[in-house]
Each structure stands twice: as C-alpha cells, then as structure tokens.
Amino acid sequence: MGIFFTIGFRSLIKHKTHSLILGSAIISVTILLIIITNVTSGIQDTMMKGSTTLFSGHVNITGFFKTSTSSAAPVITDLARLRKLAREIVPEATFIVDRVNGFGKIISDQSSMQIPMMGIDVEEEAPILKDLSVAAGNISDLSKKNGLIIFEAQAKKLKVAVGDRVTVSMPTYRNMYNTMDVNVVAIVRDMGYLSNFSAFLNKDDIRELYQMKEDSSGRVMIFLPNYKTVAAVESRVRSGIEKAGFRLMDKDPQPFFMKFDKVAAEGWTGQKIDITNWEDEVSIMKWIITLFNVLTGMLTMILLTIVSLGLMNMLWITIKERTGEIGTMRAIGMQRRSLVILFIIEPFILSSLSTIIGIVIGLLISAGLNAMHIIIADSALRTFLMSDTLLLSTSFSQIIITFIAITTFTTVGAIIPAWRAGKLSPVIAMSTID
Amino acid sequence: MIIIKMALRNLFSHKMKTLIVGTVLILGSFFAVVGVTFVFAISEGMKNSLTHSITGDLQIYSKLAKDKFSIFGDENGSYPDIDYVENFATIKNILEKEVSNIEAIVPMGGNFAMVNPGNILDKKLEELRQCFKEKIFDAAKILELKEHVHAIILDIEAQFFNNTASIVSVSAEDSAKVRADLDTARAESFWKDFDAKFERKIEFLSNKIAPLIFDDNVLYVSYMGTIPETFARSFSQFEIVKGTNIPPGHRGMVLTDRFYEEEVKHRVARRLDKIKRSLLEDHETIKGSKTLQDKITSNISQSAEVYNQLTPKRAEEIVVKLQAFLSSKESDIKKLLEDFLKVDDANFISRYDFFYSEIAPYIVLYKVKVGEVFPITTFSKYGTSHSLNIKVYGTYRFKSFERSPIATGFNLIDLMSFRDLFGLLTPERKKENSEMEAEMALEDVSISDMFKKSDSKKESEGASLSKLKSTVFTSGFKEDFASQGDKVFSNADLENGIFLNAAILLKNPAKMAATMRAIDSVSEKEKLNIQVIDWKNAAGIIGQLILFIRVLLFSFIGIVFGVSIFIIMNAFIMAMLERYKEIGTMRAIGAQKQFVLSMLFFEVLIQSVFFACLGILLSWLVIVIVGGRGIPAWNDIATFFFSGSRLYLFFDWWYAAGVLLLAVIVSAIAGLYPAYQATKIPPVSALGKTH
Amino acid sequence: MNHFFVVILFLMAANLYALTEAETSAIIKTVDDLQRNSGDYTSLCYIKDTEKGKEPRLNQALVYRRDTDNKFMILFTKPKEDAGKGYLKIDKNLWNYEPSTGKWDRKTERERIGGTNSRRGDFDESKLSEEFTAVYDGDEKLGDYDAYKFTLAGKNGVDVPYPVLKLWVDKASKNILKREEYSLSKKLMRTSFYPKWMKKFSPSKKSDVWIPEEIRIFDELEKGNTTIILIKEVDLNTLPENMFTKAWVESKSK
C-alpha cells in the first residue's frame, strides 16, 4: 500500500499545474465551509450561553400552577423540596439556583417598556452572573432591596443611568397592577437579541410585587459541568421528580411563555411540574440555526457535487494524457486492480491534503476574525446572530464531518475515471508514447 | 454545415468528457434557475405580504418623532413614540397634488389594547340580566341560568381557598372579605328574593364574586386606526369575511379573520376547524400527520373548556345525545366529551358536524361576537388609561395572505376612536379644555417676572367657594361612556384630524426612490414636517429579517454560481488543452485557423446550449410541478417566510433566457480562449509531444 | 496683613447671619406647619399639562385631605373622559381607580398624577421635616424676594420621588418660592415655582392655613414641557366620616 502512496504523491508533484488548480478549488471550498460552520457554531454557542445566563439552566424544573381550570401561572410550589430533589438527582450539578418569573412594565421618567423580568438571588447566582459584562454599576447591589439590573439597550430606551429610580408595575393574581419603585443598580452590556427581553429584580421584591408565598418560585435551574449530557440528565430528573410524587406535564419543547394558552385551557388545577432544557427555552430562535444548518448542508452538497464533477473531468483528461505512462506501468506488470487503486489514491491524497490545508487555513481565519472582535454594525444581523460581535467557534465533530464529507465526495468522483484507466489495454496505451 | 457536422461528431466521440461537462452545465443552470426563482418567490412574497396589506410602498410620519418608526412595534415589544401629525386632509391634498406617482394615502396609527370580554360568570350574569329585561318572562331559562351561576359560585369557592391560597399570600383581611362575600352569595336568603331585586343581586355577584375567577380571558389586541373605506379601497386584496365593514361615520372595529378564529374563537372549536381544513383543503390525514394528532390531544386535555361553559341542564341534554351518538353508556359528561373529541379519519366529519349542531350553540364560541359591543382599554406611556365601548362590525382578511402571520396582525378601528384611545384631543375635549382655560384665568407670566412684587397681593384669601359647591359630579358618566358608540361623525371630522402615520401606495413602485425624494422636497417647501421611509424600513425588524434572508439566500446562490462557473471554465479549458494535438493535426492537414476556430466555437456553442437548455427544462419541470402545487410550510416560521401556508414558484422565461446566455458566454470564454491559443501554435509543435 | 483681617472680619460677619442647624430645621418645620391643617381640607384644582409644541391638556379635580389621619384623595371631575378617575392614599399605599374597568391599581410615589408631570406630593400635606434632613445653603434673591436656600436630602428608609431637593424659602413669609428636584445621581428632574400663595383661616387649627395658589412645574428632562397646578378654591370644613374609602370613590361613577 505504501508504494501506491509514494507513487501517487510523486505523480501529483509531477503534474503540478493540475494538482494546484484542483487543490485550490478544494481548499477554497473547504475554507468556505469551515468558516460557515464555525459561524453557525458560534451562534449556537451564543444562544446557549445567552439563554443559560439570562433565563434557563441546562435543565430546568419548572411548571404551572392553575388556581382555576381557566388560568395558568408559571409558578412552582414546594420549592425547598424541589431543590433538595434536584441536588439528590443530579449530584454532579455545578450549581442549582431558583428564579421567579415575572412580566411587567418599567416606567422611567421619560419612557416605559414592557418586558419579562426575573427575580434572582444575586449572591447565590454569582458564578452564573459573572458571564454578564457590566457596563456601569455593581451587580451585587441587587442583594439590597429595591434594585434593578437592566441591559444597555433598555437603559438607552428608558434614558436612565445607574442610580436613577424607576417604577416597576406588574399585574398580580387579581389582574390588579402592583407597583414598586426601584433603583437601577447596574447596567449590563447587551447579549444580542435575547437580552432585549430581560431584566433582573431582587427575588424578594418580585415576590412582594406578585404577593407570592415564600415557598413558591418560577423555576429551579440546574447547571451541568458538560452541557452535552443534557438529554440524559433530563430523563433522570423526569423520573426522579415523578417518583417523588409530583405530577408531570408532557414534554413540550417550547419556551414557557408559549405554553400559557394551552395550559390555561386544560382541565386540571393545582401544581404540575414541567421539565425542560435550555434548547426548549430558546426554541423559537432555533430556526436561525436550523436555517443556517440547512443552507450549509445544501451548499455543501451542491458545491461538492460540482467540484467532484470537475475533478472527474480533470482526472479523465489527466488519464488521457498519461495513457503512455499507464501503458508502461501495465507493461511492466502492474495489475489492473493496482492501477485503479493508484488512480484513486492520487486524488485521495490530493483531496485529503487540500482539505486539511483548507481546514487549517479556515481555522486560522476563524481565530483571526474572533480576535478582531468585529462589531456587527447592522442591527438586523446583530439581532439574528444574537451577538454584538462576530463569534466563531469550532466544533471538533463538525470538522471531522467536513473532512470526511469533502474527501469522500471528491474521491468518489475519481472512481469511474480510475476504473476506465484500468481497462486500458497496455498495448494501445503504450502506442501513444512518442 | 460541415463545420457543424464535425462539431457534433467531435462531441459524440468524446462521450464521457462531453457528458461530464454537460452535467456540470445542467446542474449549474438548474440551480441557477431554481435557486433564484425560489429566493425571488420568498422575498417577493414577503415584500408583497407587507406592501399589499399593511405598510404600503412608503410610510410617512412626523419629522419630530422621537423613535424610529416601525409598524410592528420596536425591539422591546412596545410601539415607538413617533409623535403625531396634525391634519390628515391637508397633508393628503398637498401630496396628491404635488407628487404624481401617488395612488393612495391611507392614514394609520398603531397601538395595543386590552380587552376583557368577561369570564364565564360575567357572561352568564349578562345573559341573566337580559332575560329579566325581556318583555316576556322566560322562567325556564332564568332557572337554568341561575343554576349555572350557583354551580360556578361553588367552583369559585373551592378554587379560591384550595388553590389560590397555596401560591398567593392572601392577607387575613382579604381572605375574610372573600369568605363573607361567598357566604352571602350562597345563602338561601340571597336567592329567595333574587327575582325581585335582580339588578342589585346581579351587580353584587358581578362586582364581588366574578373578579374571584382567575381567568386568562384577557385579549391583547393590536389595532390600527384608519379610515375604513379608504383602507378597504386602497388595499386591493382586502375583503370582508364575516359581518360588514365599519359603516362610514360610525365608530367600530373590524377584526382580522385570523385573530377572530385563532384567539377569539373557542379553542376546541378552533382546533376542530383547523383539522377540517387540513383534511379537506390540504388533503392530509390524521393518521399521517403528527400535527393533527397533537391538536386532537390538546382538544382532549382541554375539554374542560367545553363542559365548564354548559349550563347544568344543557349538560344533561348533551349527555343523552352523546350517549346515543357514541353508543356509550357513560354518564359523566367529562368522559363522554373526551371520548367524543378523540377523532380519527373515519369519524371526523360526522363528529365535526355534531359538535357544531349540538354543542357549539351552548358554549361561548367567540369571546367577542361580531355585532357585539365591548369595552377596550389602552394604556398610555405613563400608565394612564383610556377606554371606549366599541362595536365589532365584522372580520376581514387579505386574499392570498390569509394564512400569513404578518399580514393578519392588525385589527382595524375607526380613526376617531383611535384618537380617543390614544389620548389625543378630540373636538369635545378641546371644547372642554377651552372652557377650563377660561375658568382657570391663568396669567401668562415668564420666570423672571414671577417674583416681582406688584399691586395685586401675592397672598390672597382665595376665591369664593362658588365653583366648589356647584361642582355637580357627573353621575351620568357611565351612560355617557356607553353612548359614545352611537354618535355619528362626518368624513370631515375623520380627515381633518390627527394621524400617526400613513401608508402611501404608488402607481409605479419601481420609481420609489424618486417619489421619496419628491415627498421630501414637498414637505420642505410646504412645511409639512413629515418624513418618508420605504416599506422595508417601515417594517422594522421584519423588514430587516426579509433583507437578511434575501442577502443570505442570494449569497448562497452566488456561491453556487461562482463555483459552477469556475468548474465549467475549468472543464472547457481542460478539454481544449487536451485537444492541442488534434488541432495541430487539423492545421497540419491544411485547415485554416478560421475553420478550426469556428468548429470549436460550434462545439462549445452546441454543448453549452444543449446542456444548459436541459438544465433549464429540468428546472421548469420542477418549478411547474412542485412549485405549482406549492411547497407546504411545515411550521409557523416557514409560514412566515412563505407568506402563507404554501410557497408557489413562478417560472420566468426572461430569466431563464438570461441564464442560458450566461452559460453560453461563460462556456465560450472558457472554451475559446485556449482554442484561440491553440490555433496560434504552429502545427509542427502540436503534432509533437502533447505536453 | 490688613487685607487678611478684613477678610476674616467679613467672613465672621457673614457667618453671623448664617443659620444654625437648629434654625434650619425650625424653618423647614415652619414651612410644613404653615400648610398643615388640623381638620379636613377640600380644594378645587385645575391641572394644565403642556407638552412642547402641543396643545395643553386640562383637568379639573377635587382634592381632599385629612392631615391628622394622613388621608388623601383626588377625584377627577373634568373632562368627561377622565371624570370618575381617582387616587386614594391608604396608609403607605397610593391606589388609582379606573371607572371604566372598575379596578384599583397600586401606584408608587413616582406616579404621574393623571398622566401629568405632577406628583402626589404636590397636592398632599407637606412633610419636609419628617422626610428630609436640611442644610442651609446661604441666601439668594428671587426677583424682589429675599430667600433662604436649603439643600434637602431624603432620610434613609423614606420613600420620596426625588431624594435630593433644593428649596428657596421666602424669608418673610416662610413659604416656598422655588423648588428644584433631583435624582440620587444629582440629575435635575423638575423645577417648580410657587409665585402665589393664599391663606385661609382654619377654625380647627385656630390659625391660618397657607395654600399655594399656583404651582408651575417645569420638566427638566423633557425641556419645554410644563405642568401648572392651580388651586382655585379651598374649603376647610369637616368632611363626612366615610369619605376616604374605595367604596366612596367607586360610588362617584355609578
């Protein structure tokens, strides 16, 4: 086998021009695909990081409490027991915290907006909140009562700065509005689209606004050391919670605010627990990733098909040109099969080398783009990429897949010409030598 | 002729090579045509679903706007503060006179409102009140309703103390009050003289007991204030589905049919309608569609919405009917309904009909019905509210966009009511304002003059209490409020007032940029103080999304194009290079440069034309068959992009011709340049080694 | 050397006229006392709210107070659109009534009364000495009036809409002439002028009650916006017992 590689290699070097042209085609396509998949990965990472900082854990114990058959509140009761269960079922969890869901109006002196807000315990959440990049103020000040943390975009709209007072207004269980004046204790840098709809209040304050009992909350968020284990942990939590006697809702991979309508109309009352993961909570944004993946997939297929054809064509011509060479080789005793293998290995070497070079260059470019922290100027793009700066992240599995796909495709294209080459009879082949 | 024959023969003799190049050509031209048709359909579709329904081609609004205009609201979900423009009639007349491309100007203004249609107890109490007001006393019906109300009260009691108290910290005071009210409502003494004192009794129940039901009944309505006839006339796709449009001069609302069917209609009924549509229009089956199965599951779990709305008497009757229909001995209405709602392909139609004939008339099929009047409340920036009683005259939709979520977002309200709800000064309020100004008799004093000691004592004794004592508090407030809806106003009132923004429809949309410039200069000249933006900017985030998708898809196509061209060129170059020897031979036997070039030219021409046409034919087939039937949208996001439930593709001959031309040109350049080089080589060297 | 002494003497002399801490608190307390009534209070007010470049919006309202009990109520009477809307302070809570929905919503101190730039504090009892600590800032002349200038800081734990105030108090009458209201971050939010005061004899207090006839408020965040409160008529007679209740407010719009 080794000899084939040597021969193949030498041959490539000999036919420099052909190798270069085809090689550069493969390299360019590879670079393009690597960069695109890195951008998609970047978006996925941003989404995960964003959602797990802003409103979800890797796995969530959440649910609805129905006070009547026609209402639904995103509340879980028996909080202490649920947190204890979470600790027991997922001992490997890095953190477990709980937050209260809220939705209401923030009224400043010059403007107002209606957004979802979360009641948090700043001290407990310190490790999660460190992912927030503070533009002004002090996040830990939220531990004092009557504080509010907002994002830059919201601060801009409300025209407030740290230290300013705003009124928070929320509808309580009787559809009556309850209000509280709070101070802006910190302004945090935007995290793309997701942060437009987030703000943080002190957990006790939000409980007071909603007149909620101490033992109730919105969701228990479980953070895992490795987010790839989400699926397994989720099923453990489901069975664990169910065994402990809680009623479970059927799995519905949607964010909680999309479930209100459905749950409100169901005929049960009391508490039901809903186990979700971070992907469910951002599922409305997932379409962007799906779109990118689908487009990339299609692009890959089409490009590779076209490149394969080109390769086939080139190989055909190459073989024609090297008919003499082939004849000679057959004449000195090389078997047909060996010839075919040789003519497959050559393009294989070319494409795998080109792919590797392409991957390396692609990764270098990605790293370079990342380091430049390119700020996305267009707000539409910013919204969809969910970040203010262009982020590319590499997924090792993606690279392997890309490598295998490109190399396979291009090599497959070589099979027919190679097979035809094998068919050539030595005599005729040699006759073309002059 | 000979040349062509030779060209053809050459192509045939190198079959494999021809085929390979041909395949690249086919694929390249196929993707070029299909790809661009697809992208074009999506972006045109999204554009039309906006310009033909809501945004028009252009939007104008006040130059003094604090925020950027976005018809769907800004990124935070609230409406931007765009100030307002004083007089629609003035603006309209000037613009129509001075800018020629304008087809129509439609005034608009967007806002959100809350509508509380009342919970089940409210509705039943209202029915009860109506019964008592009827001339003929229907004792049976009254008894039926009273029984239902009683049952609801018992439910409320259970829910409040068992459930609510678990999550909410109800103060002891509140709890005691609720307990007392509920006891009153259940007491025998309360019901004994009910008929005699029905007004007071119903009011007690409605004020004290009904609010105890925690209901998710509040509808969030986004609406647009406009001149209903102008709107209907200017947007050609507009059509009334149920009821009528708002009659000229009257206050009222017209809901989008989608909103009416999706949010206002009873959930179970709505799902049954959707299943029916999928089965009959989209030819799907319950067995083969998970979406439909999910809908059925939801219906079953939400059957409470049906039986909770039936009066006890009616429930009994339906039990009997269901037992007969399902051949079941089950006597519990809940279980019967769950069974009934477990539909499949075989029994769906008959059960659908049964539902609408036997069950639907007795439940609250629509939270707000066409023809009904209901109160609508909006909240201003700082939380002050404005309310109005509005009649729903009907529902509307835009033909061909009826399933698009974008085009169905705006319920229409007459501009007069819009102004009221927005807190703008109405003529009545302006009149009251001037009365109050007169009463105030305020001096106009500048800050510097404020603290000048003058003759008039700064420290007075205050006016006499004449006004205070005579301030008759308008107890007729509620009647006033109710009668607002009946007042008729003139077209002049409508047009001579404030509007927030207006859609401009152009005669020739292609001249958009020039028209925008014209409007700007007219605004400058006549001091109209308006600014104009195109539909894409007006659509805010949606417009940006459309742009983003367009760019993404076109880049995608562009990459495919680019690579295809590269490969085609490569293929032709290689093919030509390979034939140096052949060319040399021909030249050696005496063929002229011209002859050889022409032959090669025809080869390239035939090859590119033939295969590109094949590719185009293939794309035509795909577009006509798949695109003609329509690509179905598989979820809401897809529905949004497809501007409906299906995306239709249209084959554009001109475009195809363009692709063909491009393919030929690319091939020609790729093939003929090396060919030209080849003919330059002296035959002798060509006959030698081929490398 | 001589210069130095002159300067010292001058400063000492100036100091002689400065107010001590005790004197400052006393003056602020007087400002409050002048406006307090030991009985009930009813007034007919007009509020004119003008946004820059727009037509003004006017309201007429009845303001009720029972200072001994810390009770406070506003009932809007004009225009028809707003008639029946009301504010009621119960303990520390400010409730707002909306006749069209029949609902009571809880509001805070920062609530814009009727959507205007006025606050509850503009209509209610003056409690500066309870809610703020005052520091004397020197004297200043306001037009033809000599005024003391004070800087007030909200006391800890007290809920006030503007935590920092600057007050100009007329030396002669001890009534407020001008008031600047700041946020904690020292941003100037509102400037109010009190150009006219009226006094009414209160039988229960056995002395005069001072009421600002006009309060002219200038929005410092949205320059050009003004709100003018005009207190037209004041009645200090006793009010019915059950007035300051939610039921009473609701009954007004039935």
Residues of A in contact with B168 (CB under 8 A): 67, 173, 210-213
Q: Which residues of B touch A266 (CB under 8 A)?
A: 301-302, 304
For chain B, say whether C245 makes contact (Cβ under 8 Å): no
C112/B384 Cβ within 8 A: yes
Between A369 and B164, the more confident residue is A369
B446 near A CB under 8 A: no
Interface touch B170/A211, C-beta < 8 Å: yes
Q: Check residues B86 and B502 and name the one with the higher pLDDT.
A: B502
A16-25, B152-161, B180-189, C206-215: which range is least confident on average? A16-25
Per-residue burial over A131-168, b = 16 or more CB atoms within 10 Å of its CB, e = otherwise: ebeeeebebebbbeebbbbbbbbbbebbebebbbbbbb
Q: Which residue has the tokens 């009932």?
A: C75
Q: Within an 8 Å CB–CB cutoff, is residue B461 touching chain C?
A: yes
Q: How far is A170 from chain C (nearest CA, A)?
A: 10
Could you tell me if B78 lies within 8 Å of chain A, comparing CB atoms? yes
Min Cα–Cα distance to chain A from C100, Å = 14
Average pLDDT, chain A: 84
Which residues 7-36 of chain C have a CB within 8 Å of chain B? none
Chains that touch B (3 or more CB pairs under 8 A): A, C
Cα B399 from Cα B688, distance rounded (Å): 72
- Residue in C with minimal Cα distance to B384: C115
Paired tokens of C238: 């006793």
List the domains of chain B with CATH numbers: 2-50+543-687 (no CATH), 56-109+499-536 (3.30.70), 120-212 (no CATH), 283-365 (no CATH)
Percent of chain C whose pLDDT exceeds 70: 93
Average the pLDDT over A72-97 and give the result. 92
Cβ–Cβ < 8 Å for A382, A280: no
Q: Is C224 on the interface with B (CB under 8 A)?
A: no
Contacts of A264 in chain B (CB under 8 A): 216
- Shortest CB distance from A69 goes to which of B24, B168, B308? B308
Nearest alpha-carbon partner for A309 in B360, B572, B190: B572
Is B41 in contact with A78 (CB distance < 8 Å)?
no
B residues 179-238 near A, CB within 8 Å? Answer: 211, 213-218
Residue of B62, B125, B416, B433 to mutate for C, most C C-beta atoms under 10 A: B433
Within 13 A of B440's CA, how many CA atoms are on the CB side?
26
Angstrom CA distances, C185 to A109, C151, C164, C188, stand at 14, 15, 9, 9
Q: Encode pLDDT of B376-434 as tens digits.
A: 888 877 667 788 888 999 999 887 666 666 666 789 999 988 988 888 877 788 899 99
- Inter-chain CB proximity A181 and C221 less than 8 Å: no
Phi, psi (rounded to 5 degrees) for B367:
-60, -35
Among B616, B405, B497, residue whose Cα is nearest residue B109: B497
Q: Determine the pLDDT at residue B411.
A: 92
Sorted by where each starts, the structural domains of chain C and their CATH numbers stand as 20-251 (2.50.20.10)
Alpha carbon of A82: minimum distance to chain B alpha carbons (Å)? 15
Which residues are CB-neighbours of B585 under 8 A, at least 6 positions away? B683, B686, B687
Q: Report yes or no: A72 at the B interface, CB cutoff 8 Å.
A: yes
Residue-wise pLDDT for C158-215, tens only, equals 888 899 999 999 999 999 999 999 988 888 999 999 998 998 888 888 899 999 999 9
- pLDDT tens column, A91-125: 999 989 999 999 888 999 888 888 889 999 999 99
Mutate to test the interface with C, among A141, A181, A182 (most CBs of C within 10 A): A181
How far from chain centre, in Å, is Cα B312?
39
From chain C, pick out residues whose CB is under 8 angstroms from the CB of B464. Answer: 233
- Note whether A180 contacts C161, CB cutoff 8 Å: no
Neighbours of A374 (CB within 10 A): 12
pLDDT at B691 over 70: no
Which chains, if any, share at least 3 CB pairs under 8 A with chain C?
Answer: A, B
Q: Is pLDDT above 70 for B460? A: no
Alpha helices in B187-285 (DSSP H): 188-192, 198-204, 228-234, 257-259, 267-280
Q: Which of chain A's residues have a Cβ under 8 Å away from the Cβ of C224?
A: none
3-state secondary structure of A386: coil
Report CA Rg, chain A: 30
Question: How far is it, in rounded angstroms, from Cα A418 to Cα B3?
Answer: 33
Task: Note whether C106 contacts A110, CB cutoff 8 Å.
Answer: no
User: Any residues with CB less than 8 A from the CB of B416 and at least 6 apart, and which?
Assistant: B251, B426, B489, B493, B494, B497
- Sorting pLDDT into bands at 50, 70 and 90, what band is C6? low
Decide if B139 touches C, using CB distance below 8 A: no
C80 close contact with B: CB closer than 8 A: yes
What are the distances in angstroms from CA B646 to CA B51, B281, B362, B626?
19, 12, 36, 11
- By C-alpha distance, the chain A residue nearest C92 is A180
Q: Does B137 touch chain A (CB under 8 A)?
A: no
Angstrom distance (rounded) from CA B239 to CA B217: 28
Give the residue-averaged pLDDT of A173-184. Answer: 83
Nearest CB to B17: which of A105, A113, A313? A313
| H-type alpha helices, A332-395 | 336-372, 379-385
Asked if B559 lies within 8 A of A32 by C-beta distance, the reply is: yes
For B499-525, what is each residue's pLDDT tens digit?
999 999 999 988 999 999 999 999 999
Contact B27 A305 (CB under 8 A): yes
Q: Which of A36, A67, A170, A406 to mutate to test the interface with B (most CBs of B within 10 A)?
A: A67
Residue B656's pLDDT band, with cuts at 50, 70 and 90, is confident
- CB-based contact C185 A177, cutoff 8 Å: no
Using a CB–CB cutoff of 8 Å, tell me whether B19 touches chain A.
no
Place of tokens 């009720």: C64
ipTM at complex level: 0.85
- Out of A69-73, A172-176, A192-196, which region has the weakest mean confidence (pLDDT)? A172-176
Cβ of residue B369 closer than 8 Å to a chain A Cβ:
no
| β-strand partners of B238 | B398
| pLDDT value of position B474 | 44
**Chain A residues in contact with B382 (beta carbon < 8 A):** 107, 112
Chain B: nearest CA to A186, how far in angstroms? 19
CB within 8 Å: C105 and A176: yes
pLDDT tens readout for residues B28-52: 888 888 888 888 888 888 888 788 8
Predicted confidence at residue C12, as pLDDT, reads: 59
User: What pLDDT is stored for residue B356 in this prediction?
Assistant: 94
Candidates C98, C199, C235; nearest CB to B459 = C199
Cβ–Cβ contact A310 with B under 8 A: yes
Under 8 Å between Cβ of B130 and B529: no
| Cα B683 → chain centroid | 71
Q: Considering CB atoms only, which of B24, B164, B691 is closest to A67?
A: B164
- Classify residue B358 by its DSSP letter: I
Mean pLDDT lowest among A234-248, C13-27, C138-152 = C13-27
Q: Is C188 part of the contact surface with chain A (CB cutoff 8 Å)?
A: no
Place of tokens 């659908």: B352
* Cα–Cα nearest to A99, from A69, A75, A78: A75
Choose between C2 and B338: higher pLDDT.
B338
> For A384-390, what is the mean pLDDT?
71
Contacts of A272 in chain B (CB under 8 A): none
Size of interface A-B (CB pairs under 8 A): 196
| Helices vs strands, H then E, count in chain C | 5, 15
Using the Cβ of C2 and the Cβ atoms of chain A, whether some distance falls under 8 Å is answered with: no
Contacts of B208 in chain C (CB under 8 A): none
Judged by CB atoms closer than 8 Å, whether chains meet at B574 and A264 is answered as no
